[in-house]
Structures are given as C-alpha cells and as structure tokens.
C-alpha cells in the first residue's frame, strides 16, 4: 500500500528484531495493546529466533502496527508438520480501520507460503477476522483423567525456579530435547513461549522428575491441571502424580494425553481464545485435542 504508507510516513520493516530499538517498539505496542510485557524474554535470550515480524513504524520510531509469523513444528497423528504460528497482531487505536493489519497479514501469509509451511495456526478472540483467509476453528477439549493407582514414588521431584540459573538450564535443555508430549497433537519444539507463559502465570509450578522431565502444573487444593511435560520421555500419569505428592479430587489434562497411559473423559474447553488452522495439513488434524497452555502464543 505505497499510497497509505507515503501519506502517513510509515516505514514497513521486516525481520527487525536484530534492531533493539525496533524490538522495544514492538514491546511497547504489545504492552499498550494487551498489557503484557514480552521484554521478559530478554532474560532468556530474547525472542524466538524463527520470528518473522512485519511492522509499520512512524517517524518517531514507534511501532504502530505489527503481525508476526514464527516456525512452530507440530506433530499431528504421528507426523511432524512444518507449521507456522501467527502472533503479536496489533494496530495502535489511532491507526485502525485503514487496512494496515490486512496489509501485514497478507505479507506474513505470503512469506510462509513461499517458505513451504503446510499448516498455519493461530489463537484469537476475533475468529471472523481470519475466516476470510481460510482459517477454521478447531474445537479444543480438556481431558479429565480417571484417578490412577498411586505407586511408591521412585523418582525424586524437585520444584524449579526460572530465576535459578541451573534450573533454567535444565528446563531449556529438556525443551530442546523433548519428546513431544503427545503423538496426536503437540508442538515438537517451542522454547520461548513455554518460558514466557511460565513467567506470566505465577500459579504455574515447574517440577523436575529425576532431571528427565519437567512437569508444568497448577493445583488449587482440589483440581490438578496438568499443563505440559517437557521430557526426554513422557512418564505415565501414575508416576507423575505419585512424584508430585498431592491428592487432588480431580485431574484435568490440558493436552492430548495419548502418552500418559491413563483413562480420560472429554470436556469441551471454553477458552477466551479460539484455536484456528488452515493449510494443506489441516485436514490431518482429527479427534479431540488441546494445545498445551504452555505453547499458547
């Protein structure tokens, strides 16, 4: 849209995270729009290196609009899929309604199409915005587990803190070398969102089991929510529960539980956002699923 850009002296920038002032511009845009501080990531080595941000900047260097794609390999029904996620979509209020977002979406979608991504996924509270680009909602379910028989715990459980360098190192190593938490539907590798989500919600506990797996979970005294497992192998639910040493009345698993060796019933997940997908691999997504809250983006 050369006319619009020239008229308002906006500059289009792509792949600009190497410029710390421009990265700060996006941090400010997301803070002002969503009240989240993504600069926390600077503590963990910065934003996802696979990010493909597209942004418009004004003459003062303010980021007024942005839409980013990033690489998010997924496993779907046992097959690793080259998937792209889309995030950080925002336009400053005074710039809305002029087609800036449409322009940035089209640029990002064209880029990932050129790079051969076979699946596009996003989370949104405005599904209508993306339906016109072929995205379809994927219903999500929480898996309510039948209480497993507890075993005498053979593994040592240790509470981790991302503030402690050794703990952070362990979490990062396990995220790097993880077995996907599900073979049906899960991220294959995604480090930055796991760490950011752990920081955003102080109720999330990270517990290491024998340094082979980190369990992300919350517990309100009655319900245990199992959010994710970053491990070289995925332990059965009975092993996890025995090691966590809690006695919940109810267990809700927030990802497809096919590797947990447990019986589950389904409950529709009523989230604030809708998971949407499109692309030639979208038809392969079948059956009840949930994207782990630790992979939310």
Ligand X SMILES: CC(C)(COP(=O)(O)OP(=O)(O)OC[C@H]1O[C@@H](n2cnc3c(N)ncnc32)[C@H](O)[C@@H]1OP(=O)(O)O)[C@@H](O)C(=O)NCCC(=O)NCCS
| Residue 185 interacts with ligand X (CB under 6 A): yes or no | no
Helix pair angle (192-200, 165-176), 10° resolution: 130
**Minimal distance, residue 9 CB to ligand X, in Å:** 17
Burial 203-229 (b: 16+ CB within 10 A, else e): ebbbbbbeeebbbbbbbeeeebbbbbb
CA distances from 142 to 1, 10, 253, 270, 288 (A): 43, 44, 6, 9, 9
Q: For CA atoms 57, 61, 63, 69, give the dihedral sign.
A: positive
Please give the size of the binding site for ligand X, defined by CB under 6 A.
Answer: 16
**Minimal distance, residue 187 CB to ligand X, in Å:** 19
Structure tokens at 62: 């303010």
Of 101, 109, 117, 297, the one binding ligand X (CB under 6 A) is 101
Piece in contact with ligand X (CB under 6 A), picked from 93-101, 169-177, 223-231, 253-261: 93-101
| Residue 280 interacts with ligand X (CB under 6 A): yes or no | no
Query: Exposed, middle or buried, 73 (CB in 10 Å: 0-12/13-18/19+)?
Result: middle
Here's the x/- map for ligand X, 35-54, by CB under 6 A: it reads as: --------------------
Cα distance between residue 153 and residue 47, in whole Å: 37
| Residue 66 interacts with ligand X (CB under 6 A): yes or no | no
Q: What are phi and psi of 56, to 5 degrees?
A: -105, 135
**Minimal distance, residue 101 CB to ligand X, in Å:** 3
Of 10, 27, 63, 90, the one binding ligand X (CB under 6 A) is 90
Tell the residue number behind the tokens 């698993």, with chain if given: 253
| Residue 98 interacts with ligand X (CB under 6 A): yes or no | yes
Piece in contact with ligand X (CB under 6 A), picked from 55-63, 88-96, 157-165, 191-199: 88-96
Of 128, 152, 163, 249, the one binding ligand X (CB under 6 A) is 128
Please list, in sequence order, all residues whose beta carbon lies within 8 angstroms of the beta carbon of residue 190, skipping any fewer than 6 positions away: 48, 72, 175, 295
- Residue number with CB closer to ligand X (117 or 130): 130
Piece in contact with ligand X (CB under 6 A), picked from 37-45, 96-104, 168-176, 255-263: 96-104
Cα distance between residue 190 and residue 186, in whole Å: 10
| Residue 1 interacts with ligand X (CB under 6 A): yes or no | no
Residues 130-149 that bind ligand X (CB under 6 A): 132
| Residue 189 interacts with ligand X (CB under 6 A): yes or no | no
Structure tokens at 296: 């939310």
Piece in contact with ligand X (CB under 6 A), picked from 2-10, 95-103, 107-115, 145-153: 95-103
Three-state DSSP class for residue 97: coil
| Residue 203 interacts with ligand X (CB under 6 A): yes or no | no
CA dihedral of residues 98, 99, 101, 104 (deg, nearest 10): -130
Of 112, 124, 179, 292, the one binding ligand X (CB under 6 A) is 124
| Residue 97 interacts with ligand X (CB under 6 A): yes or no | yes
Binding site for ligand X (CB under 6 A): 33, 89-91, 96-102, 124, 126, 128-129, 132
């Amino acid at each position: 849209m050369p006319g619009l850009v020239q008229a308002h002296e906006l500059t289009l920038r792509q792949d600009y995270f190497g410029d710390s002032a421009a990265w700060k511009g996006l941090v400010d845009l997301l803070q002002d729009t969503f009240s989240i501080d993504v600069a926390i990531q600077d503590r963990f080595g910065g934003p996802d290196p696979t990010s493909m941000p597209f942004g418009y900047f004004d003459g003062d260097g303010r980021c007024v609009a942005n839409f980013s794609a990033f690489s998010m390999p997924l496993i779907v029904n046992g097959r690793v899929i080259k998937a792209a996620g889309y995030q950080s979509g925002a336009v400053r209020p005074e710039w809305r309604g002029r087609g800036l977002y449409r322009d940035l979406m089209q640029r990002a979608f064209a880029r990932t199409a050129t790079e051969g991504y076979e699946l596009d996924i996003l989370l949104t509270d405005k599904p209508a915005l993306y339906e016109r680009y072929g995205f379809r909602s994927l219903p999500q379910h929480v898996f309510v587990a039948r209480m497993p028989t507890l075993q005498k715990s053979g593994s040592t459980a240790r509470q981790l803190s991302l503030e402690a360098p050794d703990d952070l190192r362990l979490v990062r190593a396990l995220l790097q070398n993880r077995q996907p938490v599900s073979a049906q539907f899960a991220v294959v590798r995604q480090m930055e969102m796991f760490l950011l989500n752990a920081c955003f919600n102080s109720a999330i506990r990270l517990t290491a089991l024998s340094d082979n797996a980190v369990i992300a979970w919350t517990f309100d005294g009655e319900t245990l929510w199992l959010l994710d497992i970053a491990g070289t192998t995925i332990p059965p639910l009975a092993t996890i529960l025995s090691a966590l040493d809690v006695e919940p009345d109810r267990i809700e698993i927030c990802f497809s539980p096919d590797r947990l060796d447990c019986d589950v019933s389904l409950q529709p997940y009523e989230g604030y956002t809708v998971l949407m997908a499109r692309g030639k691999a979208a038809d392969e997504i079948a059956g009840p699923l949930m994207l782990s809250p630790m992979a939310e983006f």
